[in-house]
Amino acid sequence: MYQVPVDELRGTSAVVGVTIKDAAYILDQTQHRPLSPREVGNFIGMINTPDFEKIKAMVLDCSSKIRVRKYGRSVVTLSPVEVTNRCASNCDFCGWRADNTQMGRVTIDEELADIQTQYLLEKGVQDIGC
């Protein structure tokens, strides 16, 4: 998925009238549940407000608190077991993109995925994604 740089979003957001009070309320809700698509849209709209820098600081502070609450102050290593390098997307930044016909494609079988997973477990990696 292509991610639009924040500078590009500044000129395209349509939400108007979102205040610091609105931002504080939405961020308070993140302590209890994920944001709704509308709330995410409101934050995108806040990029165009004069209070953007204050709101950005609030978001960063809130995300830090959630991260510490969820993971503590430790560093968590996540190691993916890549089962394929095939992809249907065409992200400009990624060498695995579908239109990269020069890349050899491979998909590993379940046995090799199990071997790789066991290796990571033996090395002490506890968070493994496939």
Do 108 and 53 share a domain, yes or no?
Answer: no
Given this model, what pLDDT does residue 111 score? 95
The SS3 call for residue 9 is: helix
Question: Is residue 1 situated within a structural domain?
Answer: no
Are 11 and 66 part of one and the same domain? yes
Q: Could you tell me the two tokens for 6?
A: 């924040």
Range of the domain at 25: 6-71
Is the full-model pTM beyond 0.85?
Answer: no
Low-confidence ranges of the chain (pLDDT < 50): 1-15
Predicted confidence at residue 14, as pLDDT, reads: 43
Amino acid letter for position 40: V
pLDDT of 49 reads 80
**The pLDDT of residue 9:** 40
Which residues are bridge partners to 80 per DSSP?
A: 129
pLDDT for residue 11: 41
Phi, psi of 99 (to 5 degrees): -85, 5
Tell me the chain's radius of gyration from C-alpha atoms. Answer: 20
Q: What is the pLDDT of residues 69-85, one digit of tens each?
A: 887 888 767 788 889 99
Number of structural domains in the chain: 2
Question: What was the pLDDT predicted at 114?
Answer: 93
Question: Do 89 and 67 belong to one domain?
Answer: no
Please indicate, yes or no, if residue 64 is contained in any of the structural domains.
yes
